[in-house]
Amino acid sequence: METHNLINPLFSSKLFNITTICYFAAMVIFFIYLANRNRGVGLAASITAYAGFVVQTVAIGLRWQESYQLGVGHAPLSNLYESVVFFSWSIILMFAIVDLKLKYRVVGAFVVPFALLGMVWAQLKLDTGAIEPLVPALQSNWLLYHVITCFLGYAAFAVACGVSIMYLIKAKQEEAAGNASAGGVVAMFPSTRVLDDLNYKAIMVGFPLLTIGIITGAAWANYAWGTYWSWDPKETWSLIVWFVYAAFLHARFTRGWVGRPAAILSITGFIFTIFCYLGVNLLLSGLHSYGG
């Protein structure tokens, strides 16, 4: 049924375009930062990313408000386009924590591209951009709690994945260069020990969020359908992701599962996460309507 009266919210769309441009610029500046190691450039990269983040926050807020003006008021988290935008936003939020609290700015070079990818995809491929009214099944506050916690969790896993890629590059270079510290771009990376720790920390943030995301999803399903768990493909995949990260956490307690194996497990976990988010909708069928 493509007969809905779709109304295109123009202003927030423009702001999303600016956001995309900011993230692209931030990524380029981050790459320059990697090459020339100038602190000023690093600062510029972060500021550009945050500028995009602020614009995006305003745009999401406006879209929310616009939906009320259209009389179909709901949080902008109701279709694939909106969720990808929110995912991008969450990734930059998680990066901000690593940058401002833990002071590892250079991680941005490997995290901001994920956010950019999300925005580009949303703008180019998914963009009807229209605000649609919510079907009855989605009219619940549980939607808000469920989606927000899940996506913040996914974003933390994106950071862990970015950091793990850095780990693998750095570890490989160090191996090749013997014990002499690696030169070039890689020299900018934090030490492998720090990267490994960041990987763990990011998963430590993501895992509780995913857990709460799954629980709120179950609570909502129970509230709406009377069954908290029905092994629907989306539910099952979120559980699969949860198993993978639980395995990651336990593997840290046995020897040998820090560093490289941990980085590989973290990247695998993120691939599973992306499949859970997108693959399930695009390739499998089920209850969840995003991307339908």
Partner 1 sequence: MTTHKRSFTTALWDFFCSLKLSISLLIGLALTSIIGTIIKQNASMDEYQHYYSDSTIRIFNSLGFFDMYHSWWFILLLYLLTVNLVACSIKRLPRVWKMIAEPTLVMDEGLEKSLSLTHEFKLAGDAATLRDKLTAFLSQEFAPPVITEVDGEYHLFAQKARWCRLGVYVVHLSIIIIFIGAIIGSTFGAKGFVQITEGQSVGSFVDRYTGKTVDLGYTLALRQFEVEYYPSGAPKEYRSFLTVLENGQPVPGLIDRKIIVNDPLTYKGITFYQSSYGTIHQLTMRDRKGGAPYKIEAADKEPVSLPGGGFAVIAESVPDVSPYMPGFTGPAVKVVLEERNGTQQSLILLQNNPQFDLQRGGAQIFTYDGKTKYFTGLQVAKDPGVWVVWLGCALMVIGICMAFFMSHRRVWARISKGQVVLGGTASKNQPGFQLHFDELADKLKKL
Q: Does 289 bind partner 1 (CB under 8 A)?
A: no
Q: Does 14 bind partner 1 (CB under 8 A)?
A: no
Q: How many CB atoms lie within 10 A of CB 255?
A: 7
Which range, of 41-49, 120-128, 170-178, 243-251, touches partner 1 by CB under 8 A?
243-251
Minimum CB separation of residue 13 from ligand HEM in Å reads: 40
Which range, of 52-60, 78-86, 184-192, 225-233, touches partner 1 by CB under 8 A?
225-233
Among residues 74 and 170, whose Cβ is nearest to partner 1?
74
Over its C-alpha atoms, the chain yields an Rg (Å, rounded) of 20
From the list partner 1, ligand HEM, none, pick the one residue 176 interacts with, judged by a Cβ distance below 5 to 8 Å according to partner type: none
- Considering only CA atoms, which of 91, 128, 83 is closest in space to residue 206? 91
**Angle at CA 100, nearest 5°, toward 96 and 102?**
105
Q: Which residues contact 171 (CB under 8 A, 6 or more apart)?
A: 192, 259, 260, 263
Q: How many CA atoms lie within 13 A of 233 on its CB side?
A: 16
From the list partner 1, ligand HEM, none, pick the one residue 289 interacts with, judged by a Cβ distance below 5 to 8 Å according to partner type: none
Which position among 4, 250, 256, 292 is part of the footprint of ligand HEM (CB under 6 A)? 250
Q: Where are the alpha helices (DSSP H) in the chain?
A: 10-36, 39-69, 80-96, 108-125, 141-176, 192-225, 233-251, 260-274, 280-283
Amino acid at 40: G
How many residues contact partner 1, by CB under 8 A? 48
Q: Does 227 bind partner 1 (CB under 8 A)?
A: yes
Q: Does 219 bind partner 1 (CB under 8 A)?
A: yes
Minimum CB separation of residue 210 from ligand HEM in Å reads: 10
- Give residues in contact with ligand HEM (CB under 6 A): 246, 249-250, 253
